[in-house]
Amino acid sequence: MNTLVKPHGCEFLKPLFLENPFLNEERKRASNMLSLPVSHREKGDLLMLGIGGFTPLSGFMGHDDWKGVCDKYQLSNGLFWPIPITLSITETLAKSINLGTEIALIDPDNQDILATMQITEKYHIDKTHECNSIYRTTDEEHPGVQMLMAQGEVNLAGPVKVLSQGGFPEKYGSLYLTPLQTREIFIKNGWKTVAAFQTRNPMHRSHEYLAKVAIEVCDGVLIHSLLGNLKPGDIPAEVRTKAIDELIKNYFVPKTLVQSGYPLDMRYAGPREALLHALFRQNYGCSHQIIGRDHAGVGSYYGPFDAHHIFDEIPEGALQTKPLKIDWTFWCYQCGGMASAKTCPHDEKDRLLVSGTKLRKLLSDDEIVPNEFSRPEVLKILRDYYTSIEDGDKVEIKLSGPSAR
């Protein structure tokens, strides 16, 4: 009996990826359609629509959904949704596309046809309003704000048929799992409760601690790595996942974790993105989402526990996937191990705050990394990576206070 959480807003997953013979037929039709290249962010959203990660959406959002999500965390039909899923173009291009037109959406990486879309709506967007709602700032130093402000002025809305998985299965192999596949694995493992651990970094000792806390209260943990685009200075997915594999092999009980990846770019939307992570992890079959310090944050734009608080602000029952809120975690020299602010009684001078940002800076600057920061097997892989890149290709990493991740 399947006892996993149900997909968001419905009984069954709704993947939009076409299978043959419909796939070949649609590809033939698409070759005669107007072509529209999409951004990397939009490509990731399309792939999530294709594999059912954004169930129950049928395509890119119209104006009422966009406004409802920005203002009230909900679609026009009342279903909870925290971040707009939209497709943007310039006003000039929008004038040449009529309602009812079918267009082919083109992969920015290889120029293949990713999907087809029927245009049901065109609408202008207030970028400042969206930035304030989703990112809580209009500061263009914020990478999410930069991305949004670079978009076109007009959104296109309509249902999509997804024709490609964007090269992710070929590039990542068995690491790239769809929601249907993760659910099948969880059921096979006999798991009823599963905690998702979101990461865009290799796992250091603090991350390891969070995952082990989750294993104590859930049947298993999904280590879910972002495989899409990151900001400059972040560690590539191939290196990150290799390091995580070593950590799992050496420091976790077998069959307590599954490592997988998903195709989105980071939005760096902090609390709002934490909600989106929980929503699509529900579609992947996860009952819980680990929410640590500064989840999906960047710089000092969000408080360290804003992503905790936002789960208390949304309506009861908006999500089946619940947050596992975990306090500051660090190495305590007096305790002799990892601890949190809820479990450690000692002073800050006895604590080593373990952060991904600080780890990347130490490695980038070829400095000594304390043993309490990361496991030696992980450090070897990361040092090999930093040794392989030229100094001129390294990005200066700035620490922005204790909330730096």
**What mean pLDDT comes out for the span 17-43?**
96
Residue 9 lies in a domain: no
Backbone angles phi, psi at 249, to 5 degrees: -65, -35
Of 200, 272, 375, 405, the catalytic one is 200
CATH number of the domain where residue 188 is located: 3.40.50.620
Average pLDDT of the segment spanning 363-373: 87
Q: What percent of the chain has pLDDT over 70?
A: 96
The length of the chain, given as a count of residues: 405
What local confidence, expressed as pLDDT, does residue 360 receive?
83
Residues 145 and 184 in one domain: no
Is residue 402 over pLDDT 60?
A: no
Please tell me the predicted confidence (pLDDT) of residue 337. 95
State whether 83 and 136 are in the same domain.
yes
List the one residue out of 112, 125, 224, 200 whose CA is nearest residue 164. Answer: 112
Average pLDDT along the chain: 93
Q: Are residues 31 and 158 located together in one domain of the fold?
A: yes
Instruction: Please indicate, yes or no, whether residues 235 and 340 belong to a single structural domain of this protein.
Output: yes
Higher per-residue pLDDT: 366 or 143: 143
Same domain, 249 and 368: yes
Q: Is the pLDDT of residue 107 over 50?
A: yes
Res 354: pLDDT = 81
Q: Please tell me the predicted confidence (pLDDT) of residue 403.
A: 38
pLDDT (mean) for 335-348: 94
Q: pLDDT tens for residues 202-228?
A: 899 999 999 999 999 999 999 999 998
Most confident of 148-157, 201-210, 345-354, 358-367: 148-157
Buried (b) or exposed (e) across 281-304, using 16+ Cβ within 10 A? bbbbbbbbbbbbbbbbbbbebbeb
Q: What pLDDT score was predicted for residue 401?
A: 46
* 3-state class (DSSP) for residue 378: helix
Q: How far is CA 40 from the centre of its chain?
A: 13
Query: HSE-up of 367 (CA within 13 Å, CB side)?
Result: 10
Please indicate, yes or no, whether residues 178 and 159 belong to a single structural domain of this protein. Answer: no
Instruction: Give pLDDT, residue 356.
Output: 75
pLDDT at 396 (0 to 100): 54
Residue 2 lies in a domain: no
CATH number, position 72: 3.10.400.10
Question: Where is the domain boundary, 118, 138, 166?
Answer: 166
Q: Residue 394: its pLDDT value, please?
A: 57
Point out the domain boundary residue: 114, 149, 166.
166
Place of tokens 């290709």: 393
Domain count across the chain: 2
170-179: pLDDT as tens digits: 999 999 999 9
Paired tokens of 11: 């009984």
Residue 6 lies in a domain: no
C-alpha torsion sign, points 357, 360, 363, 368: positive
Task: Answer yes or no: is pLDDT of 377 > 70.
Answer: yes
Give residue 404's pLDDT. 39
The Cα 386–Cα 242 span in angstroms is: 14
Lowest mean per-residue pLDDT among 64-68, 137-141, 204-208, 279-283: 204-208
Nearest to 24 by CA among 103, 107, 113, 110: 113
Question: Is 281 tagged catalytic?
Answer: no
- Annotated active-site residue in 201, 293, 351, 360: 201
Which range among 160-169, 199-208, 217-226, 273-282 shows the weakest confidence by mean pLDDT?
Answer: 199-208
Which of 104, 131, 166 is the last residue in one of the domains?
A: 166
What domain range includes position 158? 22-166
My answer on whether 368 and 306 are in the same domain is yes
Residue 110 in this model has a pLDDT that exceeds 80: yes
The verdict on whether 201 is a catalytic residue reads yes
Q: Is residue 3 part of a domain?
A: no
The dihedrals phi and psi of 109, each to the nearest 5 degrees, come to -90, -35
